[in-house]
Structure 1
Amino acid sequence: MYKQLSSGVKISITRSISTSFESYLASIDWDEEKFSMENFMENWQKYFTESAAWFDKVPQEVLLSTEFHAEIAKKMDEVIAKVLSEEPTAKQIASIDKMQKQLGTNYSYDCKAEAAYVEQLLKEKLK
């Protein structure tokens, strides 16, 4: 069912997963101890029903299908794995290192999305 959707809808679904995942992680300060798949799923459901452009473009019978839910779960696993494995950029690393020296902090980060979170956090501290 997922494969039958237009490429634009599939891209929008992927984007909604990554956006809501990164937003959820930011809301828990990227703290693995606070992570709850149940809370993330609630967050994602709220995001896609209120903000995602794709939700209104998928027929109701598809949205209610167990096959579609299984395909979305697989897609979520893929997107989350990609978000968590994408390396921080050299520019992010340099920016974070510079700000951490200024602030005397030592935040760690493991992926590009977490580096973006740390970079924004440090920018806020410098204001």
Structure 2
Amino acid sequence: MFKDLSPGIKRSITRSITVAFEQYMNRIDWSESKFDLSTFISEWRDYIQNQATWYDKVENDTKNNSQFHQELAVKINETIEKILSEEPTKEQMDEIEALQTELNQEYDYSCKTEAKYVIEKLKEELKKKRSN
């Protein structure tokens, strides 16, 4: 069923998983101990029903089909695995190192998307420090 969707809809589904996962992980500060798959799925479902463009383009019969749900579960797992396995860039690592040095703090990060989050968090902390 998933394979029968248009390439554009498949890309949109992948993008919705990526965006919802990043938003969820940012909300829980990328804490593995706070991660709850059922909560993420619930938030993703809310995202696709209210913000994703592809949701209204897929027939209700397809969306209600258990095989489609199984295939979506596989796609969710693949997408999350891809996000978590993408190494931070050298530029990200250098920027994090510089910010951590300036703030005298240290953050752990393991993937490109988490590094992006850490950079934003450190920049916000630096901004607060400079305004005091």
Same fold by TM-score greater than 0.5: yes
Match of 2:47 in 1: 47
Determine the C-alpha separation between the residues in 2 that align with 1:3 and 1:87.
28
Q: Give CA deviations for 1:19-77 in whole Å, capped at 9, x if unaligned.
A: 11111011100011111111101110111101101001101100000010000000011
Q: Secondary structure at the match of 2:115?
A: helix
- TM-score, structure 2 length as denominator? 0.95
Q: Give CA deviations for 1:86-127 in whole Å, capped at 9, x if unaligned.
A: 000011001111100000010010000100000010111111
Structure 1 gaps, min length 5? none
Determine the C-alpha separation between the residues in 1 that align with 2:57 and 2:122.
39
Determine the C-alpha separation between the residues in 2 that align with 1:123 and 1:49.
33
Determine the C-alpha separation between the residues in 2 that align with 1:78 and 1:35.
17
Determine the C-alpha separation between the residues in 1 that align with 2:98 and 2:51.
35
Match of 1:96 in 2: 96
Match of 1:78 in 2: 78
Which amino acid in the other structure matches residue 57 of structure 1? K
- TM-score, structure 1 length as denominator? 0.98
Return the offset for 1:13: 0.1
Give 1 or 2 for the bigger CA radius of gyration. 2
Q: Secondary structure at the match of 1:117?
A: helix
Structure 1 residues 1-127: aligned runs within 5 Å: 1-127=1-127
Q: Secondary structure at the match of 1:102?
A: helix
Identity %: 47
Determine the C-alpha separation between the residues in 1 that align with 2:41 and 2:77.
12
Structure 2 gaps, min length 5? 128-132
Determine the C-alpha separation between the residues in 2 that align with 1:88 and 1:111.
5
